[in-house]
Amino acid sequence: GGIITQTPKFLIGQEGQKLTLKCQQNFNHDTMYWYRQDSGKGLRLIYYSITENDLQKGDLSEGYDASREKKSSFSLTVTSAQKNEMAVFLCASSMWTTYAEQFFGPGTRLTVL
């Protein structure tokens, strides 16, 4: 089996600050994803990456940047944190086959003061 690690677990930032969230996986999966989880809104896709150095925008990419420099890691940057923003950011990975499941990390909980 494998595991997805997200750091930090909790992230507190100031309004306007640039904040970076990190994700590592040891499944050797090609595809990785970043989701934002808000209560009652499901999982909304921010960015995904098909392979190393590839980046694809999701439905919620405005205000975020991403980076995939290695196959095993995928970073997400909040370019300018918004006051009162509070959400959980989930990283996931999967094989490329259509019926493959996604594996999720434990999440990073963001609070902006």
Partner 1 sequence: GDSVTQTEGLVTLTEGLPVMLNCTYQSTYSPFLFWYVQHLNEAPKLLLKSFTDNKRPEHQGFHATLHKSSSSFHLQKSSAQLSDSALYYCALRNTGNYKYVFGAGTRLKVIA
Q: Which residues bind partner 1 (CB under 8 A)?
A: 4, 31, 33, 35, 40-45, 48, 50, 56, 58, 90, 94, 96, 98-99, 101-107
Q: What single DSSP character describes residue 74?
A: E
By beta-carbon proximity to partner 1, the closer residue of 11 and 45 is 45
- The amino acid at residue 2 is G
By beta-carbon proximity to partner 1, the closer residue of 81 and 105 is 105
Q: How far is the CB of 39 from partner 1 (least distance, A)?
A: 9
Q: How far is the CB of 79 from partner 1 (least distance, A)?
A: 22
Percent helix / strand / coil, the chain, rounded to 5: 0, 55, 45
Say which residues have a Cβ less than 8 Å from residue 43's Cβ, sequence separation at least 6.
35, 36, 37, 90
CA 76 from chain centre, in angstroms, equals 6
Q: How far is the CB of 113 from partner 1 (least distance, A)?
A: 22
By beta-carbon proximity to partner 1, the closer residue of 9 and 83 is 9
